[in-house]
Amino acid sequence: MMPKFGASILSWIPKWTPEGGLYAIQKTASSGFDIVEISLPASMDFDAKTVKKQLAKHGIEGRCSLILPKDCHLPHYPKQATQLLKKALDKVEAMGGNFLGGVLYAAIGSFTGAPCTDAEKNMLQDVLSEVADYARLRDITLALEPVNRYESYVLTSAAEVLQLTDRMHVDNIGLMLDTFHMNVEESNFFGPVVQAGDKLKYLHITESDRGMLGEGNVRWDDLFKALAAINYAGPLVLENFSSHLKELVGPTSLWRKSKYDPEALAKGSLAFMKKKAKQWNIGASATLEI
């Protein structure tokens, strides 16, 4: 049994809008993916019930992600962050989903000029424990995505996320890894996956330059060997970008023209993911699916 393969809406559109979202759902389905990852807007202007119908019509699943905006940077604005995260969980529930992942603990580009302090870590633990309880009542799993040092100072490695979640003692919050960020912050692609084990809930698959999978320097065999070792049961979700979407150039720092247009990039990357999953027998012994 093969794992489920997904693509972010950012493969097709720069941000969520009702019209753009429908287009992303249609393109994700027609390109052969099983899942579309919906990056929720911070405004929460998101008609979850309509999206649920659209997903059903096109025969794919929806998984939601979120990045906190600057005015909800959790260490500085815990109340605002808590409120927004709960609103996001309400949207996931209304859509019929069971997952919320991403940078649920910080705003990209918010820095203090110092490492994350113990007081900030305690704030993360308090807020995310409350949010996890709220999510549990809705049968939703949370996953925290560490991002590289140029985007945040709060959680930048798998080990830091695992240390935090171990202190929280909750069963519905885990780790979300992204191979782009791993390529910057981890010493290898095997160890963090094995260390996480069944706490790894979700995986962003992306090349070192955000381009076509297999054409950069991500050590894919090390990654897939690790996924096989832990019997990874979660989805493999593409998150790469094309400069052909002009609105993405600035936000994703695509300063050089992309070699591939969005459709070629998505389809070629999906073929690569399927090839590697088959090569390493990913999903063959998987028994758990979130």
Digit-coded pLDDT (tens) for 13-50:
999 999 999 999 999 999 999 999 999 999 999 999 99
Q: What is the CATH number of the domain that holds 163?
A: 3.20.20.150
> Is residue 221 assigned to a domain?
yes
Predicted confidence at residue 285, as pLDDT, reads 54
Boundaries of domain holding 270: 5-279
Q: How far are the Cα atoms of 20, 37, 174, 262 from residue 17, in angstroms, in the given order? A: 5, 14, 29, 18
> Is residue 185 assigned to a domain?
yes
Hey, what are 272's tokens? 């690569």
> Is residue 255 assigned to a domain?
yes
Structural domains of the chain, count: 1
**pLDDT band at 243, cuts 50/70/90?**
confident
Q: Is 145 a catalytic residue?
A: yes
How far apart (Å, rounded) are the C-alpha atoms in residues 9 and 12? 6
Q: Is 239 a catalytic residue?
A: yes
Q: Cα dihedral angle (14, 18, 19, 23), rounded to 10 degrees?
A: 70
Predicted confidence at residue 119, as pLDDT, reads 97
Predicted confidence at residue 207, as pLDDT, reads 97
Q: How far are the Cα atoms of 37, 117, 157, 245 from residue 258, in angstroms, in the given order? A: 22, 39, 28, 10
Digit-coded pLDDT (tens) for 177-233:
999 999 999 999 999 999 999 999 999 999 999 999 999 999 999 999 999 999 999
Mean pLDDT, residues 272-289: 79
Hey, what are 71's tokens? 């005015």
> Is residue 287 assigned to a domain?
no
Catalytic residue, chosen from 37, 120, 145, 185, is: 145
Tell me the whole-structure pTM to 2 decimals. 0.95
**pLDDT band at 1, cuts 50/70/90?**
confident
How far apart (Å, rounded) are the C-alpha atoms in residues 116 and 111? 9
C-beta of residue 24 within 8 angstroms of C-beta of residue 12 = yes
> Is residue 138 assigned to a domain?
yes
Mean pLDDT, residues 87-97: 98
> Is residue 181 assigned to a domain?
yes
pLDDT at 283 over 60: yes
Predicted confidence at residue 286, as pLDDT, reads 42
Please report which helix (H) or strand (E) contains residue 85, including its range. helix 78-95
Q: By C-alpha distance, which of 158, 165, 145, 142 is closest to 290?
A: 142
> Is residue 79 assigned to a domain?
yes
Predicted confidence at residue 208, as pLDDT, reads 95
Digit-coded pLDDT (tens) for 136-181:
999 999 999 999 999 999 999 999 999 999 999 999 999 999 999 9
> Is residue 290 assigned to a domain?
no
